Structure 1
Amino acid sequence: MFLRPCQLLVISCLHVAVYGAVLRNFQVTQPVVVPDDAKQCTIKVLQPPTDCGPLGSWAAITLNLTVTSNGTQYDRLAHFTFQNVEIWRTSTPEPTIGDGIIWTYIKDVSRYTPLFANPGTFILQLDNIVEPGLDGIYSSKMLNVTLPRNTVKVFAELLASGNAEEEFWYFNAANEYLSTLPQDTTYGQGPFRELRLLIDGKIAGAALPYPVIFTGGLNPSLWRPITAYGALDLPTYFLDVTPFVPLLTDGNPHQFTIDVVSAEDDHTILQNWYVSGLLQVITDPSLKPTTGHMTVYDAPLFSQTSTTAVVQPDNVNITVKATRKLHIEANILSGSGEATYVVWKQDLSYSNEQSYIQDAQYQIVTQRASGSNIATHNGVPSVVEIFSYPLYIDLAFSADQTSFTTVVDHSYDRDLLPDPLVVRSKIEMSQITNGFFQVETDGNFANGTSNNTFAYEDLAGNTYTREVDAALNNITFDREGGTLAHTGTTTEGFQSISQVIKYVLGRLPGGNK
């Protein structure tokens, strides 16, 4: 990459002035890693950069999204696209009446530098509903692809998020046992979801999606002011599809399909998942066509799955398990005469246990998704991912269904090298939340606590740690450390906001509100 280390491009998507005791929402994550000696050049969206160096020459590119909202509104999904390519998927924290809320998130989009080398259309799509009772306003597949014939490497990045009947997909019950539960307890089609990429109908790779919980999910008080991990920056999934290069460099269009499947007999899901993706294509300096052969292809169309249950008069326990192994190899010869032997392997494991106790008055989900994705080019790693996404949710409803308690314990542990041009990094995140929600005719009441532990490190030597706790909308403890830390100090008992907040009823499994 030919980048000048003295230029940093910062794109400001929205800037607002805020006064008063505004509730500041945030997602615990590492600060953006940029060169210390970079000259910063800040522009607003839709304005061309000036005095930022030649187009595409920047050492790093970041997007700064700052949003404020005041009123009553549900959380909303948002998509950032540039050059018709989705580069960031986010969601909005739920606002409050009074002084409202504000949040800022800075997204590193440096790996999309080739997109920014040319003028293009930048779009933020944030769908919203404004109607009586919902007055908070936010400021704001299948594709045929023809690759260059001198392509030598191809890396795919997939984006996916479950919504509506699929928002709590990990709570969906297997169809065989759905009728054993009280009506409207949850949806069907089971809890297993696999994100797949197919090329000309053949599996090129798969991913087990991380269960992002949006700020209107379960109990909204759990996510104020600290959102669940991924709510402001949904994780994306990386695959090395270079073994398909010998098939893709014939000059003809090839069908790329992204879908989400279940463990049910028909593998279908409910409505809906939003999926998209992009390809990072690396070409050879020679204009001669790349040649080669796929030498190994062992990739079943669907994962191996099993579903079992123990059904008693008042209690139902359902367990779904899945595994996937994928192994693809290819010999590739570039037009310049460079030979590359590519090996791409995946080993994924999934389990989900649902317990419905006393006619679903108590509902517990224990889920674990883990695995490894390893690609090598002539023995050198090109894509590496070792991950574990444990999730535990405990819902307990009162006998009259007017109140409930929630416990959410989830983690995001991921060792990731998304492609050879990005530094390998490791994130270990743990979040434990507890909350109570009471439905009232004059405005719902809720409270929640959140305990967060976060650690980041990369092979460039950058480190960051943060422990931060919240209760009743207040930050009660905050300590950060590492080379990327802003202060390295500890704050205890810090009061961020004292106003009483009335809550929109959170979304629950089965569409219950």
Structure 2
Amino acid sequence: MSKLEEGDTIDLEKNYAKQEAQHRGWHDGFFYYRDRSRLCTRIAMVVAALGLLRLSCWLTISACHQLQREVIHPIEAVEDSPVNIIGVQSSFPDYGEPVAEQLIMGHEFKNSYGNPYVGTFEPLQGVEFSHVKLELRASTSGTQFDRLGHVYLGGAEIWRTSTAEPGKRDIKWSYVKDVSAYTSLFRKRNDLVVQLDNIVNEQYTGVISVQLIAKYYNVPTKNEIKTIYDWYQSMPVQATKVIPIRPVNVEPNQPFLWQFPRDDIISTPLNEINENTTRVVVDVFASGNAGEEFWYTHVEKRFGDLLGLPGEDFGRFGPLRFVEVYIDDELAGNIVPFPVIYTGGISPGLWNAIVGINAYDVPSYRVDLTPFLPRLLQRRSRLRLVVSNGLGDVKTDNNWLINANVMVWEVTGVTVQGQELPGDKKEDHENIGFLSGAETLAQITSADRSLCTIARLHFRGAANGDPHGAFAENDQILEYQWTEKASVSNVQEVVKGPLGSQTVASAYTGSGIASVNDSSIDTTSFAYPLALSTKELSVPSNGFKVKIARGYEYDTLQTSLHTAQNGTALSQIIGNRYFGGPSSLRQTYDEQSVVSGSFHRLVQARNGTIIRDSDRHLQNWVFAEAVMDDHDLSESLLQSDPASQVPQVPPSVQDATSSRDGMLWQGHRELLVRGPGFLKV
């Protein structure tokens, strides 16, 4: 075989059976390859036909509401212009027109390992603003991996992102992130650091050019305070003070990441909490990388040994992860990380027009520490973070990249005292694995966690022109409570042999509620369903097929975001190279906001080209009825029950429902129908 060069197009029609190509309508499209180093040995074992959820839901909008706009975006191929790689999002929250914009960084990242951008952020003068958004604009060309990026201001990581892969194309992308919680950092001179580790040489030629633009908004605030509920509800989204959780010997002009489990003790003193503090929240960035990038596909070692699965490919510590937050030695919160799939992940061909959910904006996660305020005021406590596998063990493979910022709200003229009250915590997990035939491993894993922390707080204050201080003049005594629940389930089947396969179905759900005297002041809930099928093919040699359905739902008191992706791709491994083949991906995006209205967007891509992109925006909040979007992939993986629209038990297992094999398939079906709570095996 002649030597292939990075980004070359390969003729898959010679490798795939001609009749299959005709049957499925494959054709030469955009093909490229990437180095096999991270995933290819993992991909050699891929998934049995089990079935992907019809995951993409969109909202049926009542006809009585006036349509503000409906846009069908033109799909035009412009010669020699960069291809735009989309990260689907809305413009919410809508703060109106910016009062000012500021280019805060323009930089080319070449050989940037250990060589981040380091600059000085200069605050705007003479501009009143209350909210800030950051827009990232980037471009690259040639050949390059996906890269992880981190934006630090004043030593605090405020945005974690990743890059698109060019695949021998000229590409560009942009994304906007609301960073209003960190507005206080934009009001003063600060160190600005952008870490984007990149390598450029003869093989990997992609220099990544990045611009970072700050957009400032001035939004009127409501200051009418009649009750303690109003008092907390009217607190600004912007924290008064931001405390980065990093070693004291690391300067703000240096990037920093905790790496777990290398850094087995992620801990720092909290000695900057003042007596006028009224709320404390920790904002945690946590993402699995290297051996932990695909943690949700991992098999616990004792089960993998039953089938002789190599630990370097299938992990050793199972498919569940929690990031645990401690104050001293007391559990303060459990974080369920979202399984981000970067543009080089699973099958790169899936993401060559639309990136995976949250790939441009890797989420951070919040835990309310206000119930620990009486202790924190003594300035002797420590905050500690660990990553757990959810099975009673803090061990994981390498590595988790972690940062955290403590967000503090202070009110001038107010003093706080209080005491912690008894709370509650519960934890349960189950994990079973068994051979279902000589070459098939089944694994069913679940974990449930709940936590409640409480404090009685006593506020005293003087007016000092601050309505919050004026309200506290009468002395306010309240009970502040943080309550959270999380449930995670994972069902897997791994088939070993000449045509290996792996099927994964996961459900992640949970909620967090901050309440004052039993009235909620801040509520979040989330759901991350995921179904993944990877299957090795007989033709071509070392070819594999991937199907994926996944979603991200995040709801608060004032907003609701539901998005889903459904895709399929074929790839091939030649030597140590990873070639992308035909692919299709469809994403629906629905967001509703009390302030901004309702937004729906539908984007479809095939073989690296956007073939459909439309959106509609309604003026007002709509309590819509969610219905299943009944689209199909070009080739269905499902055996569907018309009544429930979820996979049926395959015929080979229908007579074995009393066996462990039957338990797996019935369990997978129940997971899709009823969610993760049923998994009490």
TM-score bin (small chain): 0.7 to 0.9
1:427 is displaced (CA, Å) by 0.4
Q: In the alignment, which residue of structure 1 is the partner of 2:367?
A: 239
Are 1:71 and 2:196 an aligned pair?
A: no
Of stretches 164-173 and 153-162 in structure 1, the one that deviates more from structure 2 is 153-162
Matching residue's letter, 1:169: W
* 8 Å CA contact 1:82, 1:120 repeated in 2: yes
Q: Give distance in 2, aligned partners of 1:333 and 1:19.
A: 66
1:299 is displaced (CA, Å) by 2.7
Of stretches 408-417 and 179-188 in structure 1, the one that deviates more from structure 2 is 179-188
Query: Is the radius of gyration larger for structure 1 or structure 2?
Result: 2
* 8 Å CA contact 1:262, 1:269 repeated in 2: yes
Q: In the alignment, which residue of structure 1 is the partner of 2:482?
A: 344
Q: Give distance in 2, aligned partners of 1:378 and 1:443.
A: 57
Q: In the alignment, which residue of structure 1 is the partner of 2:561?
A: 427
Q: Give distance in 1, aligned partners of 2:489 and 2:279.
A: 34
* 8 Å CA contact 1:34, 1:60 repeated in 2: no
1:378 is displaced (CA, Å) by 2.8
Q: Give distance in 2, aligned partners of 1:95 and 1:48.
A: 33
1:182 is displaced (CA, Å) by 4.3
1:264 is displaced (CA, Å) by 4.2
1:263 is displaced (CA, Å) by 3.1
Question: Mind listing any 5+ residue stretches in structure 1 that lack a counterpart?
Answer: 1-17, 418-423, 486-513
Q: Give distance in 2, aligned partners of 1:404 and 1:257.
A: 42
Q: In the alignment, which residue of structure 2 is the partner of 1:152?
A: 278
Are 1:416 and 2:486 an aligned pair?
A: no
* 8 Å CA contact 2:324, 2:334 repeated in 1: yes
Q: In the alignment, which residue of structure 2 is the partner of 1:436?
A: 570
* 8 Å CA contact 2:386, 2:394 repeated in 1: no
Q: Give distance in 1, aligned partners of 2:144 and 2:281.
A: 38
Question: Mind listing any 5+ residue stretches in structure 2 that lack a counterpart?
Answer: 1-77, 106-119, 211-265, 462-474, 621-681
What is the percent sequence identity of the aligned residues?
Answer: 27
Match of 1:81 among 152, 155, 160: 152
Match of 1:460 among 595, 615, 621: 595
Are 1:310 and 2:434 an aligned pair?
A: yes
Q: Spell out, residue by residue over 1:369-424, the C-alpha distance to the aligned partner (whole angstroms, 9 max, x if none).
A: 1022111023332321111110001000124861101011000011035xxxxxx3
CA RMSD of aligned residues (A): 2.2
1:470 is displaced (CA, Å) by 0.4
Q: In the alignment, which residue of structure 2 is the partner of 1:510?
A: none
* 8 Å CA contact 1:35, 1:59 repeated in 2: no
Are 1:475 and 2:610 an aligned pair?
A: yes
Q: Spell out, residue by residue over 1:132-178, the C-alpha distance to the aligned partner (whole angstroms, 9 max, x if none).
A: 42222223421111111222211221111000000000011112212
Match of 1:116 among 161, 186, 194: 186
| 3-state SS, counterpart of residue 209 of structure 2 | coil
Q: Give distance in 1, aligned partners of 2:390 and 2:530.
A: 19
Q: Give distance in 2, aligned partners of 1:196 and 1:281.
A: 20
* 8 Å CA contact 1:331, 1:342 repeated in 2: yes
Q: Spell out, residue by residue over 1:335-374, the C-alpha distance to the aligned partner (whole angstroms, 9 max, x if none).
A: 3232221121112111001101244711100000102211
Aligned length: 454
Counterparts of residues 327-406 of structure 1 (less than 5 Å): 327-336=452-461, 337-359=475-497, 361-399=500-538, 402-406=542-546
Are 1:36 and 2:100 an aligned pair?
A: no
Higher helix share: 2
Q: Give distance in 2, aligned partners of 1:305 and 1:239.
A: 22
Matching residue's letter, 1:467: L
Q: In the alignment, which residue of structure 1 is the partner of 2:380?
A: 253
Matching residue's letter, 1:256: L
| 3-state SS, counterpart of residue 299 of structure 1 | strand
Q: Give distance in 1, aligned partners of 2:392 and 2:370.
A: 31
Q: In the alignment, which residue of structure 2 is the partner of 1:163?
A: 289
* 8 Å CA contact 1:195, 1:258 repeated in 2: yes
Matching residue's letter, 2:122: P
Q: Give distance in 2, aligned partners of 1:278 and 1:294.
A: 23
Are 1:214 and 2:308 an aligned pair?
A: no
Q: In the alignment, which residue of structure 2 is the partner of 1:191?
A: 319
Matching residue's letter, 2:96: D
Q: Give distance in 2, aligned partners of 1:270 and 1:203.
A: 23
Q: Which has the higher contact order (CA 8 A, sep 6+)?
A: 2
Q: In the alignment, which residue of structure 2 is the partner of 1:203?
A: 331
Higher strand share: 1
Matching residue's letter, 1:263: G
1:484 is displaced (CA, Å) by 8.0
Matching residue's letter, 2:386: D
TM-score by length of 1: 0.84
| 3-state SS, counterpart of residue 212 of structure 1 | coil
> Structure 1 stretches (4+) deviating beyond 4 angstroms?
49-52, 440-443
1:232 is displaced (CA, Å) by 0.3
TM-score by length of 2: 0.64
Distance of aligned partners of 1:350 and 1:407 in 2 relative to their CA distance in 1, 3 Å threshold:
same
